[in-house]
Chain A
Amino acid sequence: MKFRTIAATLLATGSLALVAPGRAEAAPEPSPCGAAATVKETLPNGTTWQLCWRINDRAGLVLNNVFLSSPRQPEPVQVLNSIRLAQLNVPYDSGDTEYNDLTEYGLGSYNMETLTGEDCKGGSARTGSDGGADPQQRELLCVSAEPAGLANRLHDYEYDEETGEGTEKVYSRQGHELVLRAISKVGWYEYVTEYRLGDTGQISARLGATGDLAPGEYSQADRGWPIGKEARDYATMHYHSAFWRVDFNIGGKGGETVEQYDTKLDGEGAMTAKLTTTRKTIAKEGSFNKADRRWWRVASPTSTNADGHKRSYELITGADDPYEGHPETQPDVTFTQANLCEKWASDNISDPECPLGIKTILDFAADKQKMTDPVMWVRVGFHHVPRDEDQSPMPMHWQGFDLAPRDFTAINPIAPDGRENVNGNPYPEEEPSTPSEPPASSAARN
């Protein structure tokens, strides 16, 4: 427990300090959580997600110990140690108002809404503690399975050499997602924290905002938009910069490595441009920004799939407005060494046990520690220009990102029977045109 040791040496604990023995060695690892905090559901295509949930007074919904299994990989394999929101920064374009909704207000405790109405229609409302100072057991988590559209399709033709006849077969499957949703009321806004766990193994994290626009924030035309009659009530434009903290624990083995991939034009081939993809290992803490064809993955050096490939998850970012008003709201992703004092992506100054001077993710990464247990901080911003339709309640606006499995299983978990042996080059007797290693490894640099 590095956290306690560091804090104890750096802080004078003052008159309230007790003489306490050193922290006892941890007892044998407990079970991950009790039955009431467990979600374990199997989607129609056979993929099973299992996890623990709880509400933290500031972060709101926290998922722990997220495991994935599927019919061809029945033993549950851990994906995440935890995922949660890590800040929600809301500055108004007027420059006169700014909120840090997690650290100055909190998504949990008394701000957590009890599910009602159509909040959880078709799903299962789960009861748990609201994480308050005087904790209340309430219906707070909605668990549902939702259609995700056409998941895959293949119009196959099989030729039988013995009979000389061909058979056509169409594989066609609808996908589903296990959806976990909790709702927080933060002033006039209502925020929906949602995780969508797909039968493909994909995890989508997103934050929805509804409720009402701030009732007292009005500006002129260059900072607002008229939402009432004529050109009078210019509701002030503003930002929602959301941060998530993602702690992988792939295969339960920890110690993941972080890699960045970039693809660049590389001359001309016989017909068209050549492109080359390179991998950069991110060994030390740092912040990174998107570029065309750039992506990151967190890979386990020790947990491999049945093909012998490292299990990993890839960060897929989407719509995003970086906020240039603060340095910490500009990087798209920051990787840091796990540290229990590093809780909030900004405004991280509310724990007397922890050193001062680690206020934002940029401070967390500033000493460029070597990462043996990386934590991923993902920022997604949305510049909200109000419109007439935002009254009232405001239609939900969403921001978020996806984590896609890359080589978590040897073939995808919802591949239908009949395709389970399609894995690799179907004509192995023919020489491949390039070395058989994944493209990037030969071009690896640090």
Chain B
Amino acid sequence: MGSYRKWGWGLGIATVTAVSAFGIASWQANAAPGDPSPGVGGMLPKVSDPDPVPEAAAGTGSDALTSTEVDKARAAALTPQLAADARGVTGEAGPEYLSADLGLDGSGREAELYFYDYKTDKLVKQVVDASTGKLVHSYSATGMQPPASPREATVALDLLLADPLSAGFKAAYADATGQAFAGKEGLNVTAHIYKAKPADTGASQCGKKRCVQLIVQTGDGQFINVTDVVVDLSGRKVARLS
């Protein structure tokens, strides 16, 4: 399973091919091997500090996908059929885009893009060859809930604020800030996926449906506790955990 690498880091220039800068700059910027000077007066020994380079159009080996590669892969992954059939978090046409990365432990440069179809509650995985930009595999399944996107977090907050259960949140906001809640501007919201546990009541559909709990922070850094509330993004409703 990809463990038998044919390349290696040889000495010096032996491996300098596609990435001519690989290893050279940092090697030379460093103390020579055997240099016994660890810095003086409690200073840390030096490490190289290369200037950041502009993001390449295409990555190499285990490099993260570049912006260009992600853009190309997204275009290929969003097939006309998917764009027409699937629905996003607010019900609009097209699936909700969640993430793009190389296969986590693989060795190739294949972009794995994940989308959520709120119409069927299916997680869609589109595998795109990062070098050709072609869609090569497609998979989907229900009952799978990877982390929420920032957009899903924002929509979840909107759903909460529009629900009577937001009274608790607004009271907690007033307690924390000394001011009445006047709107979501300035709030920082993140979301984590909520899946129902056997003892849960009120949100037992979560897991099959896409649900989140929110972490809300005011502009000055205070957390407003809303951990007793679950937002069901699939059903567009809000529940309180018992």
Contacts and interface: CB of A to CB of B under 8 A. Distances in A.
Contacts of B219: none
A343 B192 contact: no
Contact of A252 (B5, B23, B38, B48): B5
Contacts of A147: 38, 44-45
A70 B242 CA distance: 59
A215 to B, nearest CB: 4
Given A30-B18, A343-B105, A351-B144, A38 B7 contact: no
Interface string B20-34: 011101110011111
A15 B7 CA distance: 40
Given A32-B9, A188-B223, A44 B38 contact: yes
Contacts of A145: 44-47
A122 B47 CA distance: 9
Contact of A54 (B63, B194, B227): B63
Interface in B144-161: 144-147, 149-150
Contacts of B3: 81, 247, 249, 254-255, 338, 373
A208 interface: no
Contacts of B239: none
A70 B227 CA distance: 51
Contacts of A245: 105
B49 A176 contact: no
Interface residues of A, number: 115
Q: Give chain B's interface residue range (CB within 8 Å of chain A).
A: 35 or more
Given A105-B193, A133-B100, A340-B105, A13 B45 contact: no
B63 to A, nearest CB: 5
Contact of A44 (B35, B85, B104, B146): B35
A143 interface: yes
B17 interface: yes
Q: Which of A11, A82, A128, A351 has the most CB of B within 10 A?
A: A351
A103 B34 CA distance: 43
Nearest to B20: A35
Interface string B110-142: 000000000000111101000000011111110
Contacts of A3: 1, 106
Q: Which of B81, B102, B108 has the most CB of A within 10 A?
A: B108
Contact of A144 (B44, B50, B56): B44
Interface string A171-204: 0001010100000000110000000000000000
B60 A16 contact: no
Given A35-B19, A56-B104, A352-B125, A215 B225 contact: yes
5 shortest interchain CB distances as A-B pairs = A254-B3, A216-B225, A352-B141, A129-B64, A127-B52
Given A16-B81, A57-B99, 6 more contacts: A17-B138, A32-B60, A48-B33, A54-B64, A105-B193, A340-B1
Interface of A: 1-4, 7, 11, 13-18, 20-21, 23, 26, 28-46, 48, 50, 52, 54-59, 62, 64-65, 67, 70-71, 74-76, 78, 81-82, 96-99, 101, 103-106, 109-111, 122-124, 126-129, 131-135, 137, 139, 143-147, 174, 176, 178, 187-188, 212, 214-217, 245, 247, 249, 252-255, 338-340, 343, 349-353, 356, 373
28 contacts: A7-B139, A13-B140, A15-B81, A16-B139, A18-B137, A29-B6, A30-B18, A30-B109, A33-B22, A33-B59, A33-B61, A33-B63, A34-B21, A34-B63, A37-B59, A40-B27, A42-B27, A45-B36, A59-B104, A65-B9, A101-B192, A109-B147, A133-B70, A133-B149, A255-B3, A339-B1, A349-B144, A373-B3
